Amino acid sequence: MSRPLILGSSSPYRRELLGRLQLPFSVVVPDVDESAQPGEPPAQLAQRLALAKAQAVALQHPQALVIGSDQVAELNGQALGKPGSHERARAQLQAMSDQSVCFHTAVALCCLDSGYSASALAQVRVQFRMLQDDEIERYLLAEQPYDCAGSAKSEGLGIALLERIESDDPTALIGLPLIHTARLLRGAGVLLP
């Protein structure tokens, strides 16, 4: 029996990425509190939220394979969330100037009916250039990345803010690690090209 595939996410970036696998899927926005628990490390936060998103949607659709994903940027041991505003994005980019930032991108896949549950974590190390305040301002006005962890879109103009990206899954930085996602789907019996 072929199970429906659902992406449990409100992210247009994840929707676009999953579409690259050329599988039919629907999207359901999970109702999950994304607050960090006291003392929770950024990588653990990403993993917990990815699984919580998948499980929340799976409760509504127990026969489906549900993908949940979350990304948390980490600077000097501290989690950086989505800035949500121009001022917070400016502060994030100023803090990340000439720094190495780790982006933890977790993906989880579960199906309540079959009992399948698996997850993976991709980590991307990004080295930011020394950024001047005027170029930060120009970038923010041009791209308005207020819904992106770390305030920069590597798939767009944000690439100009970077020195280098180190990753074993290049799509992880955009928000869904497709290499890991494909592995989890194959593990659940989904046929991929």
Domain assignment present for 192: no
Any domain includes 101:
yes
- Tell me, what's the pLDDT at 1? 52
**What pLDDT sits at residue 57?**
98
pLDDT at 117: 97
Query: Of the candidates 84, 99, 89, 103, which has an alpha carbon nearest to the alpha carbon of residue 43?
Result: 103
- What is the model's pLDDT at position 140? 96
Domain total in the chain: 1
Give the residue-averaged pLDDT of 68-89: 93
Round to whole Å and give the CA distance between 156 and 158: 5
65 pLDDT tier (thresholds 50, 70, 90): very high
The reply to whether 161 falls in a domain is: yes
Evaluate whether residue 193 is within a structural domain. Answer: no
Q: How confident is the model at residue 150 (pLDDT cuts 50, 70, 90)?
A: confident
Q: Which amino acids are annotated catalytic?
A: 70
Residues 27-51 pLDDT 10s = 999 999 999 999 999 999 999 999 9
User: What CATH code is carried by the domain that includes residue 12?
Assistant: 3.90.950.10
* Backbone angle region of 151, left / alpha / beta, with phi > 0 → left and psi within -120 to 50 → alpha: left
- How much is the pLDDT for 193? 78
